Amino acid sequence: MTMIRNYRDPKVTLDHGIGLSEAAALRTHPAVIAAINAISSERRPAMVIWKSPTGAECDHIVMALEEYIHLGDFEPAADGRYAWDADEIRL
């Protein structure tokens, strides 16, 4: 069965995205970085979203994160917590 994605493949990082290799320096789970990248654009680059997301962007980041976990792109966190600098997303 083919997996249908609603969000950009997490392995793809566009010019306006954040490299997954930067996750440790940003104190952010790589899956969260991928989810931020998934909704970023030239108009709203990933680093701008990472620093100051809108409410709608936060909703989409959570949905992208859930999709990435569900499709097996990232292992689920044992405690359901995914760091985002000083904050976190709980699934």
The tens digit of pLDDT for each residue in 39-91 reads 999 999 999 999 999 999 999 999 999 999 999 999 999 999 999 999 999 99
Question: What residues does 82 pair with on adjacent strands?
Answer: 89
Torsional sign, CA 79, 90, 21, 27: negative
Runs of H (alpha helix) within the chain: 30-39, 46-51, 55-70
pLDDT on residue 3: 77
pLDDT on residue 89: 98
Q: How far apart are CA 91 and CA 9, in angstroms?
A: 20
* Residue whose entry in the numeric block shows the structure tokens 């966190």: 77
pLDDT on residue 4: 86
pLDDT on residue 88: 97
pLDDT on residue 70: 95
pLDDT on residue 1: 59
Distance in angstroms between the alpha carbons of the first and the last residue of the chain: 26
pLDDT-wise least confident of 3-7, 30-34, 82-86: 3-7
Q: How far apart are CA 65 and CA 75, in angstroms?
A: 11
- pLDDT at residue 2 is higher than 90: no
